[in-house]
Structure 1
Amino acid sequence: MFNSDRLKLARERRGLTKRILAESVGLSVRALSNYENKLDYDPKQETVASLAEALNFPVEFFYGESVDTPTIETASFRSMYSLQANKKHKVFAAGALAFALSELLDKLYTLPTEDLPDFAGEEPEDAAQSLRVYWGLGDKPISNMMHLLEAKGVRIFSLMEDSKRVSAYSQWHNETPYIFLNNNKSAEHSRFTLAHELGHLVLHRELLSDDIDLRTIEREADAFASAFLMPRSDVYARAKNILSRTQIIKIKKRWGVSAVGLAVRLHKLGLLTDWHYQRLMVNMSKAGDRTKEPDGLPMEISLLFRKIFASMSEERVTRQELAEKLHVYPEEIDSLVFGLSNVLLVEETPKLSAKRAHLRLVK
C-alpha cells in the first residue's frame, strides 16, 4: 500500500517544496498535498513512478513502512531554529534513513551497546572528568574520537550536506545515542564537534524544547567538549608558558584540537592572560587559522562501518543488495556512511547470510 509518510520523507530529503515537486511531475499542489496528508491513498502507478524519478528513490520506497524522523524537539542541533526550513527537513530526513539503516544492521550484527551515563545537572567540566573516569581514560589524550564513541555504542552517521551551517546534530532514539556529522570540516573541527554532541547526549538527554535555552546548552556542550578533549591536569602539565601561535600549533596535536580551540582552553584555565589571549586571537585571525587549520590532522574514519562492510564483503553482499533492503539507491547509503560502502562493498552476486556477526571495536 502506498505510504504517504514516505512521500513526505523523500520530498524533504531532496529539499523540495510541494510546489516545486508538483510542477516537476505535472500534479497540482492540492493533489500532492492530498497524497502527503493521507486524503488520497491510491495514486496511480504512473504517478508514483513519476514521483520516484523526480525524487531519485526507487518506486518500492513509497510502499515501505513509516520510519521515525528526528524533529526540532528531539534533536540537539546547532542553529536549528534559524536554519532554513528546507535544509532542516533535509538533514532530519537523512536521520530517518539512518534510523532505518541502523535497525537493519542491528538485525545482521551484534553491535556495541550504549554505555553513556546521564550527567544532567552537572557542571560541564565536572561531567567531562567524570565521564573520563567512568570510561577509564584517565587524563591521556584521545587518539580517535570517532572510534571511542562507536565503541561506547554511539551510532555516528555522515551528513553529506552543502550547508556550512550544519555541523552536526545528535539525539537519543530507542535508547540508542546517535550523532549525525557533517564531514566537510577539518579533522580538528570534527573531533570537537563529536565531543560537543557527546556533551549534549550526556548533559541534555531529558531536555524538552520548552525548557531549552539554546545559548546556555550550546555553551555547556562547548565547555564539555573542551574539557573532555583537553583535561585540565594534562594541559597544566604540558602547556605552561605557551604564548605564541607557533608554540600552540606545535603542541595542539597532542590533544587533536584546533589552534584556536587550544588557545581558548589555555585562556579559560588561566594559562594565558587576557592580553596574551587577545593578541593570539588577532594573530590567528590574520593568519587565517579560523578558516583553515594550520598543520591539520588527517580525518578520522568510522571503524564500525569499516568492520561491517568488510564482513559484508566477505559474504559477497553488494552495495545494491544492501540498498534494496532499504528500498533506496546505493548512493543514499554512501551519503550516510562516509562513502565507505562505495569503497568496501563488492559488486558481485550477493549472498546475504542469516548469521549474526559480532563486531568488537577497540577504543
Structure 2
Amino acid sequence: MIIRAKINPNMMKWARKYAGFTDGYEDKLPVEIKSRYRSWEDGETKPTWNQLRKVSKRYNIPTAFFFMDTVPKFNNLPELVNYRKLDTKFLFETKSPDLIKEIRKAENRREHYIDLLYELEEDIPSFDKYDGTLNKKHVSTYIREKLGIYLDTQKTWIRKNNSLDKKHYNFLNKWKNIITEKLGVLIFETEGVSIKEMRGLCIFHNEVPIILLNGKDSVNGRIFSLFHELTHLLLGESAICGDDENIEEEVFANAVAGEFLVPKEDLIKNINDDLLSNNSINNLSHLYGVSEDVIIRRLYDDKHIGKYDYTSRVEDFEEITKESKGSGGNYFNNRLKYNGEPYCAIVLQAYEEGIIHGGDFSKFTNLNKKFIPNLYKRLYGGE
C-alpha cells in the first residue's frame, strides 16, 4: 500500500514560490515534480513520502514545513536577505530559482561562519563603512590603506611559482583572501547562475557582510566585480549588479573599482607612445591584473585616448564569457572557489578542535572528510 503525506496544499504552493519557481520558472522544476505539482497544490492528490522528500530537497525546505497550518509571510522568515535598497517582493518574484538558492546558501554559510567564530572564542569582525568624501580617488585610497596592499605588491602577483599567471587567478585569490582578512567580508562564488542575470552581488551587514561573485564569469570579470561590490558595501548598500552602467550608484562603483585597480597616477608612468598597440595594452593588463578592456576604459576615462580610439579598440579586447553548462574541472578546487578559503579555514579549525564533527564539516563545505589533507595542503602548505 502506498502511504501518502497529508500535507497542506497551500504550503506546497508557498514552498515552490519561496524556492523561486514562480510564474515563468516552473519549467525549471525536475520532471518528477513538474508533472505533479499542480495537483498537489490544488489538493487533488497527495505526494508519497518519497516524492515529498525530493520536493523538500529541491525547494530547500524541511519536510515538516509542508504540514504547517498557516502559510508564513516572506518577510517574516529570518533567512531572507535584508536588502536596504531592493524590494523583497521584487527579489523573489523576478529572480531565478538558481540565484535565490545561491543567496540563501551565502547567508547560511555566513551564519555558520559567525557561529563557529563564537565557538572558537574569536572576535566577530565588524565592518566599517566609508564616511569620507564621495570621490573615486578618496574611496580607492581608503580601500588601499585598509587592505594594506600597495601597488608594488599587487604587481608581483602576475607571477606564481615562477610562472606567468596570464589568466590572473593569483590576483583574484589574493584579493579575495585579503579582503576577508582585513575587512571581515565573506566572499563566495555562485554556481549555475547566468551572467545575464548577475555579475556580482553584495549583502550589507554591520558584521561580516557578503560579496557573491558569479562563478561563471571570467577571472578578470570577477576581479573587477569584487571591488565594484566592495564599494557598494563601504557605502552601506546591498545590490545586485549586472551590466547596467547607467545607474548613478553603478557608475560610481565602476569608477572606484577602476581607479583602485589601475590608479591614474601610476598608469601615466607606464604608458608610452605606442599605448594603443596590442602588446602595450596586454602588458598593462598583466601589470595590474585586470582585463584589456579595463585598461582601454582607464585610458579613455583619464583622457589619454579619445572616443573614437576607445570605441574602436574596446571591441577588440572586450571579454566574451562563455557560460559553462556545469561546474567542470576539479571538484575540490571548485568547492574552494564557491566557499572561499577563509570560510573553509574556519570550518576546518572548528573540526580540528572538536567543535563540529565530520558530518558537519561535510555539510558546511560540501566536501567529504577525505579532502581534509588536501585542504590542509592548500591552506597551510603541508599535510
The TM-score bracket by the shorter chain reads: 0.5 to 0.7
Of the three residues 258, 269, 282, the one matched with 1:249 is 282
1:101 aligns with 2:109: yes
| C-alpha separation in 2, matches of 1:125 and 1:83 | 36
On the 8 A contact 1:4/1:62 being kept in 2, the answer is no
1:85 aligns with 2:98: no
| C-alpha separation in 2, matches of 1:136 and 1:249 | 27
Shift of 1:30: 4.2
Name the SS of the counterpart of 1:201 in structure 2: helix
Over the residues paired in the alignment, what is the CA RMSD in angstroms? Answer: 4.6
Cα gap change, 1:11/1:171 in structure 2, threshold over 3 Å: closer, same or farther?
closer
Shift of 1:56: 2.6
Q: How does 1:168-317 map to 2 (within 5 A)?
A: 168-173=200-205, 175-205=207-237, 215-241=247-273, 242-282=275-315, 284=316, 289-291=318-320, 301=337, 302-311=340-349, 314=352
| C-alpha separation in 2, matches of 1:99 and 1:30 | 32
**What's the TM-score once normalised by structure 1's chain length?**
0.67
Quote the sequence identity (%).
17
Corresponding residue number in structure 1 for 2:136: 124
Corresponding residue number in structure 2 for 1:68: 79
Q: How many residues align?
A: 308
On the 8 A contact 1:312/1:345 being kept in 2, the answer is no
Shift of 1:112: 6.6
On the 8 A contact 1:167/1:193 being kept in 2, the answer is yes
Corresponding residue number in structure 2 for 1:147: 177
Cα gap change, 1:126/1:60 in structure 2, threshold over 3 Å: closer, same or farther?
closer
RCO greater where, 1 or 2, for CA within 8 Å and sep 6 or more?
1
On the 8 A contact 2:127/2:208 being kept in 1, the answer is no
On the 8 A contact 2:351/2:361 being kept in 1, the answer is no
Name the SS of the counterpart of 2:212 in structure 1: strand
| C-alpha separation in 2, matches of 1:60 and 1:84 | 18
**What's the TM-score once normalised by structure 2's chain length?**
0.64
On the 8 A contact 1:169/1:181 being kept in 2, the answer is yes
Shift of 1:50: 2.6
| C-alpha separation in 2, matches of 1:54 and 1:83 | 19
| C-alpha separation in 2, matches of 1:244 and 1:86 | 41
On the 8 A contact 1:67/1:96 being kept in 2, the answer is no
Corresponding residue number in structure 2 for 1:350: none
1:212-231 CA-partner distances (Å, limit 9, x unpaired) = x9711111111111011112
| C-alpha separation in 1, matches of 2:206 and 2:142 | 25
| C-alpha separation in 2, matches of 1:226 and 1:264 | 8
Shift of 1:243: 2.1
Shift of 1:53: 0.6
Shift of 1:308: 3.2
1:77-127 CA-partner distances (Å, limit 9, x unpaired) = xxx97998251x542342223222221222223377244432476023321
What runs of 5+ residues in structure 2 fail to find an aligned partner?
1-7, 66-75, 155-170, 240-244, 323-332, 374-378
Name the SS of the counterpart of 1:290 in structure 2: coil
Cα gap change, 1:276/1:25 in structure 2, threshold over 3 Å: closer, same or farther?
closer
Of the three residues 133, 138, 143, the one matched with 2:145 is 133
| C-alpha separation in 2, matches of 1:291 and 1:187 | 12
Shift of 1:11: 2.8
On the 8 A contact 2:130/2:234 being kept in 1, the answer is yes
Name the SS of the counterpart of 2:138 in structure 1: helix
